[in-house]
């Protein structure tokens, strides 16, 4: 297991970002987000089913991918966290029983600044596997219950 000594989180993030650029030179925003989605689902499964095992590892996987994504967008993580935390401090929070977690109920600050990716790092390959998955969840395929038992889908 690795150990961080001296330099703190900034040095660790810089090292992760350097490693990610070198190891995955062709990665783009969508590759990272799709991978992150998979890791978040694994984290969720771990927390729900076996919280005593591997939670730290799954959190680290998510943070590594977030660091790579921030690097791709050239977002300074420390500043982004400070800015967002300042916005969240000014918000009113309440539990949303339909979603099962707390949400802010007011706008709570200025709109975020959109950051553009360099063209070579943008996804340009049509619908992503993640978008297809999400669309499938929104519009599940249902077997046809026709009398002939054809089993076609709608």
Q: What is the pLDDT of residues 30-58, one digit of tens each?
A: 999 999 999 999 999 998 888 777 899 99
Q: How many independent structural domains does the chain possess?
A: 1
pLDDT (0 to 100) of residue 1? 44
Q: What is the pLDDT of residues 68-111, one digit of tens each?
A: 999 999 999 999 999 999 999 998 888 888 888 888 886 544 44
Q: Is residue 144 situated within a structural domain?
A: no
Q: Is residue 13 situated within a structural domain?
A: yes
54 close to 45: Cβ distance less than 8 angstroms: no
Q: Is residue 68 situated within a structural domain?
A: yes
- The span from the CA of 20 to the CA of 32, in Å, is 11
- The span from the CA of 74 to the CA of 82, in Å, is 16
101 close to 95: Cβ distance less than 8 angstroms: yes
Q: Is residue 90 situated within a structural domain?
A: no
Q: Is residue 108 situated within a structural domain?
A: no
| Coil, strand or helix at 104 | strand
* Domain around 29: 8-73+117-138
pTM, 2 dp: 0.67
Q: What is the Cα 67 distance to its own chain's centre?
A: 11
Q: Is residue 23 situated within a structural domain?
A: yes
Task: Give how far Cα 81 sits from Cα of 52, 70, 97, 141, Å.
Answer: 28, 11, 27, 40
On the question of pLDDT at 24 being above 90, the answer is yes
Q: Is residue 112 situated within a structural domain?
A: no
Q: Is residue 37 situated within a structural domain?
A: yes
């Amino acid at each position: 297991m690795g150990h961080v000594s001296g330099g703190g989180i900034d040095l660790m993030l810089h090292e992760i970002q350097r490693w990610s650029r070198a190891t995955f030179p062709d990665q783009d925003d969508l590759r990272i987000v799709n991978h992150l989605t998979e890791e978040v689902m694994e984290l969720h499964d771990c927390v729900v089913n076996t919280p005593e095992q591997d939670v730290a590892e799954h959190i680290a996987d998510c943070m590594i991918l977030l660091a790579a994504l921030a690097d791709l967008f050239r977002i300074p993580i420390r500043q982004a966290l400070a800015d967002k935390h300042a916005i969240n401090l000014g918000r009113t929070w309440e539990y949303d029983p339909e979603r099962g977690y707390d949400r802010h109920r007011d706008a709570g600050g200025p709109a975020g600044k959109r950051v553009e990716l360099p063209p070579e790092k943008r996804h340009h390959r049509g619908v992503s596997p993640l978008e297809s998955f999400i669309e499938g969840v929104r519009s599940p395929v249902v077997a046809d219950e026709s009398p002939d038992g054809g089993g076609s889908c709608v």
